[in-house]
Amino acid sequence: MKSVKWNNGMAKATSCKDEFQLVERRWIAKMRIKAQGSAKGWLFGWSISGSFVVLVIITLFCLVSSISAQPNVLLSQTPFSAGGVMVGAAGFPELKVTGNMVGGYGYRSFHRLLIGGEGAGIFGENSSGGFGMFTVGYTAWMRHSLQIYPFWGFGGGRFTVKEKENTMNFLFGIGLGADFLPSGESRGFIIGARIGYLARFDEKEFNTIYLTLTFGGGRRD
């Protein structure tokens, strides 16, 4: 076996076997660094993507469950009131920062008109803050106790991103929600999802997009 020469502290292979071992070590080191970066990205930079995957799974479950016939078809097509907890991720596109989001929402059904509110806190490695707003929604699609509705809102919020802090000020929100009442009865457990956008006209760099799963309860009035 040929010897290995050293050049500036780095091993230089003088045989095919040594060359192969050197390339293998470099590849393993590169993959280890990449894996560490991916893990950090999943925790801090890709939380929205992670929530989206979970959202797709929940949505598929809702669609499959809604295929089964329910005993009261008329009841299952009646809009309902709902409220619960929101858990997901939020991002600030202008500043390229994401964070976790936990909050709550609720609305009362007046036939297809949905009047309520929404509020949440945002926290992460480079972000923090919260918001609250009054919302108005409309049941655009209702079938087998799956209620899909666009909603609009206005309120206030304050955020800190990358040590940049904005003042408590007015914000406008728009989004799309989906709530599913698995029991198909007049009341019961609710699962769903919400995606929305919060606009700050005075400080656009703090505009926020969010994606959450929702859990709670609902009933038909």
- Domain boundaries, given as residue ranges, for the chain: 5-42, 51-219
What pLDDT shows up at residue 13? Answer: 42
First-to-final CA distance of the chain:
85
Work out whether strand 146-161 and strand 169-180 pair parallel, antiparallel, or are unpaired. Answer: antiparallel
Question: Which class would CATH give 51-219?
Answer: mainly beta
pLDDT band at 4 (very low <50, low <70, confident <90, very high): very low
| pLDDT over 80 (residue 104) | yes
pLDDT band at 197 (very low <50, low <70, confident <90, very high): very high
pLDDT of 158-188, one tens digit each?
A: 888 877 776 668 899 999 999 998 877 778 8
Highest mean pLDDT among 4-18, 21-35, 43-57, 187-201: 187-201
Dihedral (CA of 96, 97, 101, 105) sign: negative
pLDDT of 138-151, one tens digit each?
A: 999 888 789 999 99
Q: Residue holding tokens 């409309």?
A: 138
What pLDDT shows up at residue 128? Answer: 86
**Angle ∠(147,148,154) on CA atoms, nearest 5:** 120
pLDDT of 29-84, one tens digit each?
A: 665 555 444 444 433 444 444 555 555 555 555 555 544 444 454 455 778 999 99
User: Are the beta carbons of 139 and 112 closer than 8 angstroms?
Assistant: yes
Distance from C-alpha of 169 to C-alpha of 192, rounded to nearest angstrom: 29
